[in-house]
Amino acid sequence: MKSLMNAPLPSDPVNAHTTRRADDRPPAVEVLSAEKVFANGTRALAPIDLTIAEGEFLTLIGPSGCGKSTLLKLIANLIQPSDGRILWWRGDFGQVGQGDRSLAFVFQEPTLMPWARVETNVRLPLDLAGVPRGKADPRVSDAIARVGLSAFARHYPRQLSGGMKMRVSIARALATDPNLLLMDEPFGALDEFSRNKLDDDLVKLWWERKLTTVFVTHSIYEAVFLSTRIVVLAANPGRIFRTMTIDEPQPRNQDFRDSARFAAYCRELSTWLAEASFPPASGATP
Amino acid sequence: MKPLLQSETFVRIAAPLAVGVALLAVWEIGCRLGSIPVYLFPKPSDILASLIKNGPSLLRALLITLRITLQAFAAAVVLGTLIAFMFVQSRAVEVSLFPYAVLLQVTPIVAIAPLIIILVKNTQLSLTVCATLVALFPIISNTTLGLRSVDPGLASYFRMNRASRLKTLVRLRIPSALPYFFGGLRISSGLALIGAVVAEFVAGTGGRSSGLAYEILDAGFQLDIPRMFAALFLITITGVFLFGAMVGLSNLALSNWHESQIGTEA
């Protein structure tokens, strides 16, 4: 212990405290009794408690109006909770974006700048953060390569298909090298084939980087395939209904999709979703 | 691909040209057959002859009108863009000032031109002011609309990345506004010419510094109808040229992403 105290680490206060075990890492996100009531009186979310550990792939799923997108936007700090609070790595949002505590958000739409080439679109968050071109460019080409679009770096968005545009949007998120990736139904508008392909690639990316991911989807299959944990939400008001842990070997691939276990997960999740959407009669009487 | 494109371009130029030639021929033949006197309605050949005969004086008048038009257009673009930027900075500014921009637009220039010509001593300057007032509004309204027409998703992306006001303006608002701005330029360039000609009519100045409108007035007094038509022809050609230049400029700036130009570049 003494030798550790003597170790010259004045510039590294985190490591100076003590050696940490892997599970001692602070959770990426803690939602503490956060609720959201909109200005028009709509109660989008009842007080919710949710802890998201580092390295998790957590999916929010539920019927329309269950507040899954609202919860994701709260976690992204795009909107503020009406009550309760949210912590990122045990701190407030002020320290997010510094060092190894950054966050990236992928919208439902690709939201690309139509006047800019793919590489310029992917470089945007780095430009906005003031990263010099020399440092940014290798990260940009690396991010574009990881989504398999190297041949299209100098194309304009209008020249790409819907799935390719979504890949550009993901590359833009990866370029910032985030520690927390938030995705709001990113593949909802795509055909099933493109969606499966993007899901496969997303699992690989997540597994390579152990990138904490919070994902919102309508698709049961997508949720089971991607997630380590699925949170089922119910509506009126939005609240956590049940949680399903999917402890399966990684990285997952088509074999998992074809397995009987996959089908069993899907069946159970489907039942839960039906219960969350249409509560049984006993629940209706107060 | 290429022969098709060539033939399409050819058709786009040749077809209207053929219509024009046919109309001129009908006009010429009709005037000749009806023996319509030249002081009532001149033949195209009379107009051409007048254009050649009065070439130097008409050309000098054209240059003066063109100078006023271009000065007014430039002033309208600079002023209009500045005002639009001011409008989008705050709703309060826009709400309090926009009605006056509309007021400016709906007041006929013919009605306020005499006032401006009295107030501004320098004739050239007063004409430029009149033309600027006419050309200003499309730039203001289009650019304001454009600067506000930002994709909401991109806007929240910029907010999320804590982009400064200046960076949001340069990287997001201005590019989003460009198609609208160029639309404004097309309308405004034509209006600047109309404004210049109308103001010249009202001012009615003679002498060496007179533009095409004065040529028309003067030709009217002298019943030199072919010269009147020749001046009118020059005004029309100038307007077409200005419009074409604006279309070209807009295509140059937007073709990569906004117009229908799909294809891989080398």
**Do the domain assignments include residue B260?**
no
- Type of residue at B10: F
Number of domains observed in the structure of chain B:
2
CATH of residue A34's domain is: 3.40.50.300
Same domain for B4 and B110, yes or no, is no
Which residue range is the domain that position B183 belongs to? Answer: 39-254
Q: Are B81 and B17 part of one and the same domain? A: no
Place of tokens 């958000």: A105
**Is there a single domain that holds both residue A195 and residue A267?**
yes
3-state secondary structure chain A: CHHHHHCCCCCCHHHHHCCCCHHHCCCCEEEEEEEEECCCCCEEEEEEEEEECCCCEEEEECCCCCCHHHHHHHHCCCCCCCEEEEEECCECHHHCCECCECEEEECCCCCCCCCCCHHHHHHHHHHHCCCCHHHHHHHHHHHHHHCCCHHHCCCCHHHCCHHHHHHHHHHHHHHCCCCEEEEECCCCCCCHHHHHHHHHHHHHHHHHHCCEEEEECCCHHHHHHHCCEEEEEECCCEEEEEEEECCCCCCCCHHHHHCHHHHHHHHHHHHHHHHHHCCCHHHHCC
User: Do A201 and A249 have their domain in common?
Assistant: yes
What residues in A contact B169, CB-CB < 8 Å? Answer: none
Is B64 within the bounds of a domain? Answer: yes
Q: Is the distance from CB of A44 to CB of A237 less than 8 angstroms?
A: yes
Nearest-Cα distance to chain B for A116, in Å, is 8
- Residues A220, A191 within the same domain: yes
A246/A211 same-domain check: yes
Spell out which residues of chain A touch residue B175, defining contact as CB-CB under 8 Å: 113, 115-116
What is the least distance, in Å, from the CA of B249 to any CA of chain A? Answer: 16
Q: What percent of chain A has pLDDT over 90?
A: 17
pLDDT at A24 over 80: no
Q: What residues contact A104, with CB distance under 8 A and at least 6 apart?
A: A125, A172, A173, A174, A176, A178, A180, A181, A182
- Kindly state whether residue A18 falls inside one of the protein's structural domains: no
- Token pair recorded at residue A86: 């949210």
pLDDT tens column, B109-139: 888 888 888 888 887 888 889 889 889 889 9
Work out how many domains chain A is built from and give that number: 2
Q: How many residues does chain B have?
A: 266
The verdict on a CB contact (< 8 Å) between B160 and A128 is no
B205 and B141 inside one domain: yes
- Specify whether A160 is located in the same domain as A209: no
* Mean pLDDT to the nearest integer, B140-169: 88
What pLDDT shows up at residue B77?
94
Tell me the C-alpha distance between B223 and B227, whole Å: 9
Same domain, B49 and B22: no
Between A105-119, A134-148, A166-180, B2-16, the lowest mean confidence (pLDDT) is in: B2-16
CB contact under 8 A, B153 and A78: no
Q: Same domain for A98 and A206? A: yes
Task: Let me know if residue B266 belongs to a domain.
Answer: no
Last residue of a domain, one of A158, A177, A196: A177
State chain B's mean pLDDT as an integer: 84
Q: Are residues B116 and B51 in the same domain?
A: yes
| Residue A32 near residue A194 (C-beta atoms within 8 A) | no
Q: Are A128 and B167 a contacting pair at CB < 8 A?
A: yes
Q: Kindly state whether residue A135 falls inside one of the protein's structural domains.
A: yes
The verdict on A52 and A134 lying in the same domain is no
> Residue B56: which pLDDT band, with cuts at 50, 70 and 90?
confident
ipTM above 0.95, yes or no: no
Radius of gyration of chain B (CA): 23
CA A17/CA B23 separation, integer angstroms: 92
Residues B1 and B115 in one domain: no
The Cα B78–Cα A62 span in angstroms is 53
The mean pLDDT value for B48-60 works out to 86
Q: Does A156 contact B172 at a Cβ distance shorter than 8 Å?
A: no
Distance CA(B173)–CA(B170), nearest Å, equals 6
Provide the edge-to-edge strand list for the sheet that holds A180-184: A103-106, A180-184, A212-216, A57-61, A229-234, A239-245
Q: Do both B5 and B61 map to the same domain? A: no
Query: pLDDT tier at A6 (50, 70, 90 boundaries)?
Result: very low
Residues of B in contact with A180 (CB under 8 A): none
Tell me the CATH number at B211: 1.10.3720.10
Domain membership of residue B24 (yes or no) is: yes
Q: Which residue among A126, A154, A177 closes a domain?
A: A177
A93 and A190 belong to one structural domain? yes
Are A188 and A199 contacting, i.e. CB atoms less than 8 angstroms apart? no
> Are B63 and B172 in the same domain?
yes
Task: Report the chain A residue with the minimal C-alpha distance to residue B173.
Answer: A113
Contact at CB, B262 and A159, closer than 8 angstroms: yes
Asked whether residue B4 is assigned to any structural domain, the reply reads yes
Q: Is residue A198 located within the same domain as residue A212?
A: yes
Domain closes at, from A156, A177, A198: A177
Of B156, B162, B175, the CB nearest to A78: B156
| Alpha carbon distance B182, B248 (integer Å) | 10
In a domain, A208, yes or no: yes
Specify the pLDDT at position A13: 41
Shared-domain flag, residues A140 and A218? no
Sort out which chain B residues have CB atoms less than 8 A from A156's CB and list them. 256-257
* Same domain (yes/no): B67, B29: no
Q: Which two three-digit tokens encode residue A104?
A: 């990236």
- The confidence band for B208, taking pLDDT boundaries of 50, 70 and 90, is low
pLDDT for residue A279: 66
Is the distance from CB of A27 to CB of A53 less than 8 angstroms? yes
Query: What's this model's pTM, rounded to 2 decimal places?
Result: 0.75
- Examine the domain organization and report whether B75 and B192 are in the same domain: yes
* Whether residue A124 sits in one domain with residue A71: no
Domain range spanning residue A68?
Answer: 26-102+182-277
**What's the distance, Cα to Cα, between the start and end of chain A in Å?**
60
